[in-house]
């Protein structure tokens, strides 16, 4: 079993910063791409940022220049540094990871999701 645990969410004023962390644990062989999705009230879940095992990144236009995604492969952890936060960034943020894991004598692949962490940005 593989689990993704997020931390770092909270409430902040507009213009402030937050740093989200997501740590993967369990019978992990390797982690390929990792990312952060977000879902605002009444809106569909969207990809905010993603990073491959090789370090290539991809950002939603709405967060480009303000958010930075990074990862520490030794710790199986992905981070999202969020600067210059805006009220429209308010959402539940979900960690996502493409994981290859041990299953008996075999390796399996599955995309895991974190439980979500609330980010609230006030005016």
What confidence score (pLDDT) does residue 43 get? 95
* Digit-coded pLDDT (tens) for 64-73: 999 999 999 9
What confidence score (pLDDT) does residue 62 get? 97
Give the H/E segment covering residue 46.
strand 46-51
* Digit-coded pLDDT (tens) for 111-122: 999 999 999 999
Determine whether 69 is exposed, middle or buried from the number of CB atoms within 10 Å of its CB (0-12, 13-18, 19+). Answer: buried
Q: DSSP secondary-structure letter at 105?
A: T
């Amino acid at each position: 079993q593989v689990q993704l645990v997020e931390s770092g969410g909270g409430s902040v004023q507009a213009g402030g910063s937050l740093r989200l962390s997501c740590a993967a644990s369990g019978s992990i062989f390797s982690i390929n791409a990792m990312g952060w999705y977000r879902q605002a009230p009444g809106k569909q879940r969207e990809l905010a940022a993603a990073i491959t095992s090789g370090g290539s990144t991809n950002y939603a236009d709405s967060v480009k220049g303000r958010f930075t995604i990074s990862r520490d492969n030794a710790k199986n952890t992905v981070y999202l540094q969020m600067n210059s936060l805006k009220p429209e960034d308010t959402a539940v943020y979900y960690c996502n990871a493409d994981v290859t894991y041990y299953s008996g004598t075999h390796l399996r692949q599955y995309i895991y999701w974190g439980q979500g962490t609330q980010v609230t940005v006030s005016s």
